[in-house]
Amino acid sequence: MLAIRGAITVNNNTKPEILDASRMLLTEIITQNGINVDDIVSVIYTATQDLDQVYPAAAARDLGLTMAGLMCYQEMLVRGSLQKCLRCMVLANIDRKQSEARHVYLRGAITLRPDLISPDETKADEPNPVVPDPAESDSTAIGIDKVKSDRRERFVSIAIDGPSGVGKSTLAKALAKDLAFVHVDTGALYRAITLHCLNKGVKPEHKKTVVDVLSAICIEILYKDDIQRVILNGEDVTDRLRSPKISKATSRVAAIPEVRAKLLDLQRNLAHSQNVVMDGRDIGTKILPRAQVKIFLDASVHSRTLRRMCDLPGSDYDIVKRELEARDRDDLQRSVAPLKKAPDATYIDTTNKNFDEVFERALSLIKDRLRNHTLNI
Ligand code: DC
């Protein structure tokens, strides 16, 4: 008998989200362990008390597990534990050593098992997939084989990359609102790691010491009123991430390969479970090389300096410009995942455009690319 565990988080306590997450978790457990569905004896789900809209085991029935024993329990309320979390235990009648079981932790739940955070799993610069023809894609048909292979294409990813101060996050946030997608600001994740280092007196230039503290860092993303919040070791640090000191130190911390590896799955898992507009430096090239739409935003240093100064009242032009140039150098010259336009990204120079013009250009590009796509919400 083999016992396999798994966990996943959901953003909202709604029936579709709970069922979708339950399905995804079970499918991953089955496929990663190469289990024959008929060998599954029982599936036990547990849910934290903030998830009460549906029994998650209904998803197992949808996947064809009609013979296995299915059960759901509500979890104890443990202070400080992950919220909106589903756990699953699959018992399969297989002759395999228990030590060979591959436990599965997805989305925010990956933070429960930092040891599972893996290095890159797909090649960068992979071409975009062909957008599926709705006539051929059956978004309601669910089957073990199909769910796994379709998982990455079922949700739409829009990747926005570009240098500091170009307005990526502002654009990504507005697009996400218009499209009812989730906005993922990946810079905030690197900033949170930097905040932890500075709090612990670790200097960003001391690479080894930064790497040493990584295992003590647990980062989660939550959404409150559709706004991304970054939780660092259980504490919401979102409002402390944008100081010039953090900005400066982050470009150093983000150049460390182990830091990037730590954040890789968190970013990918967010995109594999919902429609996202994700902004950063390596989203189109490295994190989501199969994103359906990729945009590379650019602008002159002069215009980015002026924009940045609007966010920092009383700041000095020369200082802001020098800092931007230093961050550009760090982002462009680092050896891992440097800032680079993906070959299939659309380049938008925003130097002489106002926000509305950039927004309209990006939105029409997205609508054009997704014309034939059936959205999963
Ligand atoms: O987008 P931002 O200014 O919040 O990013 C902060 C720093 O993090 C910036 O120096 C570049 C780095 N970063 C990165 O290397 N990769 C990302 N995907 C996002 C940000």
Structural domain harbouring 54: 2-127
Binned at pLDDT 50, 70 and 90, residue 89 comes out as very high
- Rounded Cα distance between 109 and 82, Å, is 8
161 CA: nearest ligand 1 atom: 18
Query: Is 218 part of the annotated catalytic residue set?
Result: no
163 lies in the same domain as 31: no
89 and 182 inside one domain = no
Question: d(Cα 17, Cα 27) in Å, to the nearest integer?
Answer: 15
Establish whether 75 is a catalytic residue.
Answer: yes
Residue to mutate, 186, 193, 252, 296, ligand 1, most ligand atoms under 8 Å from C-beta: 186
Query: What does the pLDDT look like over 161-187, one tens digit per residue?
Result: 999 999 999 999 999 999 989 999 999
Ligand 1 pocket mutation, candidates 168, 239, 248, 250, criterion most atoms within 8 A of CB? 250
Instruction: Judge whether 312 and 319 are in contact, CB under 8 Å.
Output: no
Average pLDDT over the chain reads: 85
Closest-CA residue, ligand 1 atom 6, reads 187
Residues 222 and 116 in one domain: no
In the three-class reduction of DSSP (H, G, I as helix; E, B as strand; rest coil), residue 85 is classed as strand
pTM of the predicted model over 0.75: no
DSSP notation for 6-57: EEEE-SS--HHHHHHHHHHHHHHHHHHHT--GGGEEEEEEEE-TT--SS-TH
In a domain, 145, yes or no: no
C-alpha 281 – ligand 1 centre gap (Å): 6
- Residue-wise pLDDT tens digits, 354-364: 999 999 999 99
pLDDT digits (tens, 9 = 90+) for 98-152: 988 888 888 777 667 655 544 333 333 333 332 232 232 333 333 444 444 444 4
Dihedrals φ, ψ of 15, to 5°? -60, -50
Residue 374 lies in a domain: no
Residue 166 lies in a domain: yes
Same domain, 160 and 116: no
Place of tokens 């992979």: 126
CATH of the domain at 308: 3.40.50.300
